[in-house]
Structure 1
Amino acid sequence: MGLDRTINYLSYFLVLLSSFCLELGHATDTIAAPNFIKDSETIISNDGDFILGFFSPANSTYRYVGIWYAKFSTTHAIWVANRNNPLKSTSGVVTISEDGNLVVLDGEKNIIWSSNVTGSVSNRSAQLLDSGNLVLQENTNTSIMWESFQHPSDSFLPKMKLSTNMQLTSWKSYSDPGVGTFSLRISVFYNLPEIYIWNGSSPYWRSGPWNGQLFIGIPKMPSRYLDGFNLIDEKQGLFSLIFEFSNKSWLLHYVLTTEGNLVETYSSNGKDWSIEWSSLTSECEVYGKCGAFGSCNSKNSPICSCLKGFEPKNIEEWTRENWTSGCVRRTPLQCMRANTTGEDGKKDGFLKVRMVKTPSLANWSAAFEDECKYRCLENCSCLAYAYDSGIGCMSWTREYLIDSQQVSSTGGVDLYVRVASSELDRKKEVKVIVIVTVVIGIVFVAVCTLFLCRRRAKHKARKTRSEENNMRGTYPTFQRQENLAGNINQDKLQELPIFSLEELASATNSFDLSNKLGQGGFGPVYRGKLLDGQEIAVKRLARTSGQGMQEFMNEVTVISKLQHRNLVRLLGGCVEGEEKLLVYEYMPNKSLDAFLFDPIKRELLDWKKRFNIIEGICRGLLYLHRDSRLRIIHRDLKASNILLDEELNPKISDFGMARIFGGNEDQADTKRVVGTYGYMSPEYAMEGRFSEKSDIFSFGVLLLEIVCGRKNASFYDHDEETMNLLGFAWNMWKTDNMAVLIDPKVLKPDFEKEILRCIHVGLLCVQDLAKDRPTVSIAISMLRSEIDDLPSPRQLGFTANQTAPETQASYHNQSIRSINNVTVTMVHGR
């Protein structure tokens, strides 16, 4: 009897022990007291991407505790605990100490490293999260007491928040992870946040200030939201930098190298790291390379030159390519002469330096561009000014300008450098000399050519006249006008590259019908190719369009100020005589409707491509509504206004109907309702009220069309009376039969849950009341499953018996037409 009882107790003990071990086996991402991990043991994040354990760098026998990517070797860890205090043997352990801290102990139980958390001690554990963040947390309430993301080493990972009071520090060498000489942190001077890399206490590289979208000194910087940086204003002078990368199958992070170079490294195969971007692409990136009042351009030889109005301070050093002495002003400023000697004369002016990374240590104000120039001119200590729509007015009032650099057209701003009036006159004299020289040269060549080839020239002249007569049959010939048409505001076009009518006629083969992409209310759109081989799309405003001028200027005003990967890019314009043309980047796959509603091409749009298009439209809409300095309401969002590039990435186009909102505006009224029937929200179509929620309604319709592969306004169900797609979707929602809506071309079990979520979000976006619809940022979170519990949609507007042809609709004495194959929309108001 006693033996049986003993066996029963032993069996019970073994079951408990098995359960305990099984529980430990599941908790592979956690260290909880009194457990520990010793050298050669590791913990791994739940998704298997990150490992915490002991490692030795290349060419080193010292042992460190660090975190590294599971798919790669341990030669370089993204985070190191005991950076400056390595273990000299393999006897170390990682555990939770009696005071509740995460610690590294050596073989004699001495503390080599500690998280150093103070306060009350309770039941704590350390967990390695899927993001690569190691957190020390209270087990009772899961509150985080300490995290490695707030104590980074040399690496910056997605979802890590790098705050103003934090910094990355380089390794001493590739075999020593100790704190090196280089550090990276967000520095804020006069309310302008920038990223600085410091070599000890001296600046070594900087990004240029943040303009709400990017750091303006970094050419080709990724745009924000899913693939790029976002700088968060935490108030009281504190900022936090984060970045996201939407492709979860790739590994990506930033590393501050031992040489002080910030590099973006990625791996698409889990085997090799590749460098996508680096901060030190040339010598020009080194801070102050060309000294005071110098400007660096890596494409020139030598790379350093003086700013306009300045000359080398020490010409001998410059000839030896030692530019540290910098430059000095050629002519003293008038205001300085007036202050010292009382001398009067012409006022100083500004010389424009195009597309530069602005000098360091700028003053900031909220002044507009004209006021910015006036303030600088009235302040004798102001050396230069620049204006960026996302930043405001920047000016420099110190002893010198330093760290100016020429950048490409995708980064930088125009810098206006203060110079004496004589420097402005000198610039005019140089222009005159150049013009006279060119004219004399042209005349000389022309005379020689005529003299040598007289007969042939006559023949060519006759041929040229014949060709010109033929061209007049295609479009009228107009006199070249130096001034734009009377009702064009030239100030709005001063930033826009200007093409000549002859140049665009040549690019489009005299606007030949074979190059015609589509026809809209403003006129036709043609495909063309410039002399440098760049393909373009030319929107030619019809002279018979009575509505055209307003929409033409609206596009110039709006699009020329917008830069985003999901918005179509305006390359330039042309206004000569009665001709008004806009030049856009050419989109080889035309518009979304050409694929989505074509029975053959729609098969090219699998669900991944469709969801990528949905996300791209969201990113573009988020930029228009929230992230750009100008708040834009598009008012004509539809499938034909979504253009597709060669990789089927979407770009929102056609801003002729767009409205710009001021900082305090959230809605407006209009008596002129414009847009496309079937995409207009009820409050806009019926009452003329529009807001961000009007665009959200249009997006909801578009989202349902993308999922269903059917047009809203031409939908017909054989089992029901005629209704639009919204009405059918609402009926399917009520009967819990949403799967019927899904395009059979994309309906697969792996994607069904995500597709049904998209339909749910689409129905929330097209609700009858604007207040019930989500904002674009909330819609994005819903689509990405960051918001788990979605509310049920309420009764929709325009659900049944309200369809009409997309090409014609009428509301409140408004006639609305849309004939849009590429980028244009026809609108007639009565």
Structure 2
Amino acid sequence: MAPEYAMQGIYSIKSDVYSFGVLVLQIVSGRKNNSFQNEEGPLNLVEYASGLWSNDAAIEVMDPMLKSSCSCIDQLKRCIHVGLLCLENRATDRPTIEDVISMLKNEMMLLPMPNCPAFVTRDSTVYELENGNSESFRDTVKPGDSLSSSDSLVSANNVFTLGFSNVFENNYYHSYLATSFTDSSSYNPVWLGNREEPITDGSGILTISSAGKLILTSNISDPISGGNGTNITATLLNSGNFVVRETNINGSTGRILWESFDYPTDTLLPGIKLGVNHRTGRNWHLTSWFENFNPASGAFTLEWDPSTRKLIVQRRGLIYWTSGDLKDYTNQILRLTVKEFENIPKPDFVDFNYNFTNVSNGVEDYFSYSPIIDPKSTPEDRKTISGWQLKYNGDIYNRDRAMIAEVSHCYGYNIEGSSVYEGCEPSCRNHNETFVLKSGRFANGNGSEAIADFDDDYNLTESDCRGKCWNDCECLGFVGRDGYGCFIGRYDFRCLYWQGKNFTFVQSFDGSAPKQFVLVSESSNKRKRKKEELHELMTLEEYTETHPVESDRGQGHHLTLFTYSSILRATGSFSLTNKLGEGGFGPVYKGKTVEGREIAVKVLSRMSVQGLLEFKIELILISKIQHVNLVKVLGFCVHGDEKMIIYDYMPNKSLDFFLFCPTKRELLIWDTRFTIIEGIAQGLLYLHKYSRLRIIHRDLKASNILLDEEMNPKISDFGMAKIFKQNVIEANTNKCAGTYGYMAPEYAMQGTYSMKSDVYSFGVLVLEIVSGRKNNSFRNEEGPLNLVEYAWELWSNDDVIDVIDPMLKSSCSPTHQLKRCIHVGLLCLENCATDRPTIEDVISMLKNDMMLLPMPKCPAFVTRNSTVYELENGRAEKFSANGLSMSAIDGR
């Protein structure tokens, strides 16, 4: 990976050029980039080739087999030369791939001399961020422009982003042109341009042709709209609508020729219509995904019925839910009278409400809605845009997590207080029945297999199989996988359940039998099911690469299994006013239990790349550790594929809420800040040394430090944590997880993590707390890259006092203690992990003013115009850099 991508998440076509340069050197040399084991020698192939090139010995890079069998030495040297040019430190200095081809083909072409490659000096790694690239946004494509898989459009208000998104399906990555919320931490698009025809080679390109046609190209180019000239632009509007429109001679915008709002997928945004255009015959409706991670059209639709003036959800033409009638509703907070559907929960938002619109004339019959924003709300509040999403199982959710309709239960019953279902309950079924996923088989009384029918319609979804079984009174359960049809298990008696006297369901506990959905009585199995859920969540084999964890037999986890209804009641149905924030897992909400206890509910996003595995990890870890500086978990909730962790509510939110706010930062006097630094260190010491499990947090940052009512710090968010056996010092992974700016260099670049990785993150935190600035808050093109470089420069020039937050300077804070904290912070940022102190040493350094501290060396990732990195000697043999994936990083 190119350095600007690995460390800052910035990518461009030059990122591929960097990777190509590494490939060229590997092909010429016949060696892997990370195949160097000599402790005293080069770090990798890039450094090895650069060193030989500098000494005019590039011939030594070549594979010995080529030297003895090939006379084209000049061509080999040229390839090495071009490869090193592709590895330039600055992305802007690397050639384009077109230039690369010219260099390789044209031997008469003079080549520039390569500089020291990115990530390479004899003892360090160089990195520099391209100045200005992080701030460059565009919202429009013009004729001659193109939008590739590495590009994106961002609306002028920075709310929406349009680009190519990948979904992993059937062992392939499928690429979709997608519009998503810019601030979304997970893949949750609001519009897809090619949901039925994904691009399978990952090389999607969107262009406007010279004839004014918007063209999405994969293996076959298909225009999705057209015009009659070159004065055409395609723009992502602030509403999320992607429009193709004419441009007038004076530069103003003309009529719209095509718009994505005319082709909604599964999300209803303000301004999108549901209904029909009688003149054109166009029907506007939402269609669910085929399954959770397959965006193709599924079984459910959300439509507007002009005859009844109701919203309806249908599955294959059968009405499953209706919104009820529109009625007047008075919002006491906003002092407004608005229209509300009787079966849609009323928003419980302080500054947010809906305005529903129904238009019926000779041309159109449609429904739409818009948000009503309180004029007193903040600009951030006004930027918030709601969105109703029709899930693959028929449920409708608001973007703010509030459920609009729970349609997925329509195969069996109408939940109390919910919406109206029509025609979906046969006379032999009742509301106490539900489907449970079990591993086993249906058998008759004599042990033989029960009757099974197979419906090989590959277009049937899991919800279709549920419906077929539910409406068949002889159905005991089914096996259904999206895209593979349904196996329906039957018996010759009406309305018998699997507990019946004439047959049984033989459950398998060794995983040998297929998993089947079994119809059971919910009331009789409620306690058993909850117990099974708890056991399944708390028992996880080999969930970590370094240490498997077994269930805590005989000791208990002291966790409460909360009901979904209690969570809805506590959070006001996940109202926006109770939303505390959003991270890599999903949103976090404030709530209050019926007993009056304030709680925080972290909801695992259904689309999050951090899934059930991380959810289990956090539950297991947090149930085994208790410390005053670690957040306390109260329990969890599982509802369908919704999973939640419930914590004690921290009234002062997180450290970043105070530290990076100009007005709130002044509340953090130095004594409070030092208490926070010390508390974080004590929490880490417990994790690293004194807990029953040696735990590496891997995502220590300001937003993961919660503050209680007395401003005491609590380390939170253990979803990325790893467990070590007591005799294990370090490990490596092919899935790098963490936050840019906080990750140690050996972890970010090679996937190696240890306790010293957390120490590095702690060092960044210390500098942020002392300075009151984010690590990545530096934008001066000529100045330092980040806070680490800034602090190091001032330290080197004996001006370290300038690192200190001006608010602390003016409040007579103890300068010697501030300087000592900066000193300790820089020691934690040492280039080589073995040179960093342990967290136990850090606490001694902070507490003992008489203790002499060693002088820090240049930190990792820092020089004036570059970033320094050095791999620990002797660790290279553990790495698998070719498999490194930054898929779980969330940027700040």
Give the TM interval when normalised to the shorter protein.
Answer: 0.3 to 0.5
Relative CO higher for 1 or 2, CA cutoff 8 Å, sep ≥ 6? 2
Q: Larger Rg: 1 or 2?
A: 1
Structure 1-normalised TM-score?
0.40
